[in-house]
Chains A and B, each alone.
Chain A
Amino acid sequence: MAARLAPLLAAAALVALPPLMPKYALEVLISILFFGYLGACWNILGGYGGQFSFGHAAFFGLGAYTSTLLFLHWGVSPWIGMLAGGLLAAGFGLFAGYLSFRYGLRGPYFSLVTLAFAEMLRVVAVNWKAVGSSLGLVVPNRGSAPALFLFAEKLPYYYVILTMAVGALVITRAMERSRMGYALAAIRENEDAAEAAGVDALSTKLSAMALSSFLTALGGTFYAQYFSYIDPSLTFGPAISIGGLLPAIVGGAGTVTGPLLGSFVLTPISELTRAALRGRAGADIMLYGLVLILVISFLPNGLVGWIRARRAPAGGRR
């Protein structure tokens, strides 16, 4: 009984409480939902597809830069630019994915190649004056302009990222229960056996890649609009790539709520650490490294996996 009420109460709190929260708390909550969202996007390819991308920042950056450039040069509303960025990222994802999967790159080799792709995009951005090179791009925010994805206050941004995070979870759940979800689970467990059972591994993985990269790119646009500034190392760098996959792993890869739960645990740790050790940059990531090691060692199925194992030892599909 309590177990079923808890998520509803949490959901209600997430909708109703923020207008009452102090500014700093709201910022942290936005951060939590942001990384939860990124984690959920990564999770589609990584947790469900079993393909651990270490370069998801590639899609994030493509989203951020596309919508920002369209906005700065042609006044296109970032809401539309967001979709354009998503499509571009999906296209790049299909390209990179096709090369990788077609040539049979699995496991660590896939991780390395995605890392290489993200780094290549970063290097291109750093050396390309038209996109601002290392100076980056500023998104001018002169006050409330909702049609242009610009708000004067943090609260509207919060509701946007809340919608995105919930949307990502809904999409993940729908996918999990669909034909694609079963196909991905089969591929993840045993790709050869899956093929023998009629699963087209290549096209299934590409679908997961396209969905994952599209959604990740939307996060890039949100970032640009919220922080009003993007540059190559912020958007294409390891902070985003790792920042996205950590919550998913810690929370539970291949589960619907894992990434969000993981973010609810990790992000406050990071914030608290940074606040406590003011001026000591890096302490929070150091803790992340430690948490990652501990989770892999003791809770290999993440927090969600651990909770489920305690409730129902029988098991079943993650």
Chain B
Amino acid sequence: MSAPGLEIRGLIKRFGGLVAVSRFDLTVAPGEIVGLIGPNGAGKTTVFHVVAGFYPPTEGAIAFEGTSLVGLKPHAICRLGLARTFQLVQPFAGLTTLENVMVGAFNRAPDVGAARRRAAEIVEFVGLGPRRDVPARHLTLPDRKRLEVARGLATEPRLLLLDEVMSGLNPTEIEAIIGLIRRIHARGVSLLVIEHVMRAILALSHRLVVLHHGEKIAEGPPATVARDPLVIEAYLGESGEAAAR
């Protein structure tokens, strides 16, 4: 019986009077790539913040591999094997690429040497080898995105939460990230991906979940969800170009 992966049940998140997420259920089974999509402001990043331990849920249950995540601090959740990236990249600006990734590697590595080796391997894997010793503040945006992913990957997660990792990238760079995500998946990491670049998320996901005004309005295989009238209306209502991409 394999570990159940991520299970969110009945999640509600309120900020004062504002309901950001309401009665949200989501599962990510081991080996899956699940796409979380929806118009801007739908509550997708809020879900990430709650799952990763940055906000407490107002109500609901969140469990990863059978262990409840509610009330745990972000680093403890990371220890359990769940890593996340941020929508606005958050590099450790004064540290080099390698050092950035080492911080993540320490999650599992027993000592500095092991952390360095692990980080070096990850840096090569994501394609930042040539930028190994460059301070993060001097990296371009696409490279910072890779760094963000690398740092999360170095923590040796079993589930990686990617938050709009393709935003701000041109088509070539997007292709490269798609390839990277596939290679990450091939290493045995499950993925929950928030994305606005439709063709990418449609191509990558085994399953799509659509969030609108904090509620799930659709779920299923990408092809089905993309044709769902509710989904199309939600996107057209907010911004037509996103659905047309």
Interface, chain A (partner B; CB < 8 A):
177-179, 182-183, 185-186, 189-190, 192-202, 314-318
Contacts and interface: CB of A to CB of B under 8 A. Distances in A.
B75 A200 contact: yes
Interface string B75-103: 11011000110100011111110010011
A316 B137 CA distance: 10
Given A185-B95, A186-B103, A197-B104, A316 B133 contact: yes
Given A177-B112, A193-B86, A196-B52, A185 B94 contact: yes
Nearest to B84: A196
A216 B91 CA distance: 33
B135 interface: yes
Nearest to B135: A315
A183 B103 contact: yes
A201 B75 CA distance: 8
B74 A196 contact: yes
Contact of B92 (A189, A195, A315): A189
13 contacts: A179-B106, A193-B151, A195-B53, A195-B78, A196-B75, A197-B107, A198-B104, A198-B106, A201-B75, A316-B96, A316-B133, A317-B94, A318-B94
A315 B99 contact: no
Contacts of A197: 75, 78, 83, 103-104, 107, 151-152, 154-155
A199 B84 CA distance: 13
Nearest to A201: B75
A185 B86 CA distance: 19
Interface residues of B, number: 37
Nearest to A301: B94
B73 interface: yes
B138 interface: yes
A201 B137 CA distance: 22
Nearest to B154: A197
A198 B75 contact: yes
B74 A195 contact: yes
B94 A178 contact: no
Contacts of B125: none
Contacts of A179: 106, 111-112, 115
Contacts of A190: 90-93
B197 interface: no
Contacts of B112: 177-179, 182
Contact of B94 (A189, A193, A199): A189
B95 A189 contact: yes
Interface in B35-65: 52-54
B134 interface: yes
Nearest to A190: B90
A185 B99 contact: yes
B90 A199 contact: no
Contacts of B104: 197-198
A182 B52 contact: no
A278 B191 CA distance: 71
Nearest to B52: A196
Nearest to A181: B112
Closest 10 CB pairs of A and B: A198-B107, A198-B78, A193-B90, A195-B74, A189-B92, A315-B135, A186-B103, A197-B104, A200-B75, A195-B75
B107 A189 contact: no
Nearest to B110: A179
Contacts of B53: 195
B74 A186 contact: no
A318 B95 CA distance: 8
A167 B195 CA distance: 52
Contacts of B96: 316-317
Nearest to B133: A316
Contacts of B115: 179, 182
A317 B93 CA distance: 9
